[in-house]
């Protein structure tokens, strides 16, 4: 916690000429909010910089049914950059809904530190298997019946040169009162990604709030315990990432009752940091005709 900042604020408040209890409590609440927001931003920074994080991605390869050879040699179906392993690392076979990785003779990789020569790869969101060999790491993801090999290089130049996320200063005016309105079960929203691929995603409901004297609403997508928004506002392409930004509320609010929606927690999608990701774009109803000068900016600072 940033106790020195809180202590200074409390000292200043105590030195003021007899503030009433409500002003004092508001000052404490504001300091606690800023501390919590900064801690959240620090966690976002740490996650982005982590091993196998978005900054390390070095390739995205859509695989065909059957056998897919991979390695740094030009004869492979999937060719990695030089320095990321031997000419033939192995073969990934897609058959009967299973993804099996078999390594070439003399090649060893590890899963959670345990070496293997052959294994069935988990591909679900909760069961993706990162496997490693030196600076290289990879996993397989399944998207709409297609299987994609995602490659990471933990010594990537992008990771080395990244100088940190850039944020607007905390602004309490972007802590807005909102209301969550659930949709009937089964409601879906069509989402287009950066590759112009469409998918129908579960839509639990929308939030409605006022900002800059206007009423706005955002559709949420996803089926977990929270609310996930893909949105764009009038800062896009100016001070923020042009395609859009994300916002996540960890727990669904009680329907119809006011809750605080903190737009200071809007953040950039993975595509703002890596060319090897496929991010969703905001549906037209989530394009706000107002500047939201809060949350994460773009472009991030880079070396040079």
Q: pLDDT by residue (tens digit) across 212-237?
A: 999 999 999 999 999 999 999 999 99
- What tokens appear for 281 in the block? 């774009």
Span 142-158, average pLDDT: 93
Has residue 260 got a pLDDT over 80? yes
Do you know the residue count of the chain?
A: 304
Q: List Cα–Cα distances, 8 to 27, 70, 171, 237, in angstroms.
A: 11, 58, 19, 38
Parallel, antiparallel, or unpaired: how do β-strands 98-103 and 114-116 relate?
unpaired
Span 284-296, average pLDDT: 97
Span 116-143, average pLDDT: 89
Has residue 93 got a pLDDT over 60? yes
Span 90-94, average pLDDT: 98
Span 9-14, average pLDDT: 48
- Spatial separation of the C-alpha atoms in residues 123 and 136, rounded to whole Å: 18
Which helix H or strand E contains 141, and what residues bound it? Answer: strand 136-143
Has residue 113 got a pLDDT over 70? yes
Q: Which domains does the chain have, with CATH numbers?
A: 1-49 (no CATH), 55-161 (2.60.200.20), 163-304 (no CATH)
pTM (2 d.p.): 0.87
Highest-scoring range by mean pLDDT, 26-40, 120-134, 252-266: 252-266
Position 20 scores a pLDDT of 65
- Spatial separation of the C-alpha atoms in residues 25 and 43, rounded to whole Å: 27
In three-state secondary structure terms, 23 is: helix
With contact defined as beta carbons under 8 Å apart, do 58 and 156 qualify? yes
Has residue 156 got a pLDDT over 90? yes
What rounded mean pLDDT belongs to the chain?
91
**pLDDT band at 304, cuts 50/70/90?**
very low
Has residue 303 got a pLDDT over 80? no
How crowded is the C-beta side of 76, counted as CA atoms within 13 Å? 22
**pLDDT band at 137, cuts 50/70/90?**
very high
Position 300 scores a pLDDT of 61
3-state secondary structure 92-137: EEEECCEEEEEECCCCCEEECCEEECEEECCCCCCCCCCEEECCEE
Has residue 2 got a pLDDT over 60? no
**pLDDT band at 125, cuts 50/70/90?**
low
**pLDDT band at 173, cuts 50/70/90?**
very high
């Amino acid at each position: 916690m940033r106790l020195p900042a809180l202590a200074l604020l409390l000292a200043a408040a105590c030195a003021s000429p007899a503030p009433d209890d409500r002003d004092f409590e508001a000052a404490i609440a504001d300091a606690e909010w800023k501390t919590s927001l900064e801690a959240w931003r620090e966690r976002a920074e740490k996650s982005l910089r982590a091993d196998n994080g978005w900054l390390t991605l070095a390739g995205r390869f859509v695989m065909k049914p059957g056998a897919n050879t991979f390695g740094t040699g030009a004869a492979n179906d999937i060719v990695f950059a030089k320095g990321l392993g031997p000419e033939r690392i192995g073969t990934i076979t897609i058959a009967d809904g299973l993804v099996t990785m078999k390594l070439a003779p003399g090649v060893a990789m590890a899963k959670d530190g345990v070496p293997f020569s052959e294994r069935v790869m988990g591909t679900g969101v909760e069961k993706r298997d990162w496997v490693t060999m030196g600076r290289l790491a990879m996993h397989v993801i399944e998207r709409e019946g297609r299987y994609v090999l995602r490659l990471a290089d933990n010594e990537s130049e992008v990771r080395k040169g990244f100088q940190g996320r850039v944020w607007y200063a905390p602004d309490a005016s972007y802590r807005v009162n909102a209301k969550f309105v659930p949709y009937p079960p089964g409601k879906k929203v069509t989402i287009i990604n950066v590759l112009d691929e469409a998918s129908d995603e579960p839509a639990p409901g929308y939030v409605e709030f006022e900002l800059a004297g206007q009423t706005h609403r955002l559709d949420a997508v996803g089926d977990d315990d929270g609310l996930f928004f893909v949105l764009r506002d009038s800062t896009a392409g100016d001070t923020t990432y042009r395609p859009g930004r994300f916002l996540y509320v960890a727990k669904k609010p009680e329907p119809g009752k006011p809750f605080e929606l903190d737009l200071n927690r809007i953040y950039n999608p993975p595509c703002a940091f890596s060319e090897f990701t496929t991010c969703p774009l905001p549906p037209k109803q989530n394009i706000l005709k107002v500047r939201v000068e809060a949350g994460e900016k773009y472009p991030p600072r880079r070396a040079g």
